[in-house]
Amino acid sequence: MKVKVIGIDLSKNVFQFHGVDHHGHTVLQKRLSRGKLAEFIAQLPPCLVGM
């Protein structure tokens, strides 16, 4: 997965992720619980994260 920028929609229990590549094409759409957030972020390549 070649994520360049990832946006995270924060809420109390569930987070929505939207990632794009360097062309602006969607390469990631995911919904995660609060407990899985750190594990998921640790597996991503270096990228810009917006919250």
Structural domain harbouring 10 = 5-50
The rounded percent of the chain whose pLDDT value lies above 90 is: 71
Q: What is the CA radius of gyration of the chain?
A: 10
| Residues forming beta bridges with residue 30, ordered by sequence position | 17
pLDDT of residue 1 exceeding 70: no
pLDDT at residue 4, rounded to an integer: 95
**Residue 42, SS3?**
helix
Q: How many domains does the chain have?
A: 1
Is it the case that residue 10 has pLDDT exceeding 80? yes
Q: What is the pTM of this model?
A: 0.78
Structure-model confidence comparison of residues 12 and 1, the more confident one: 12
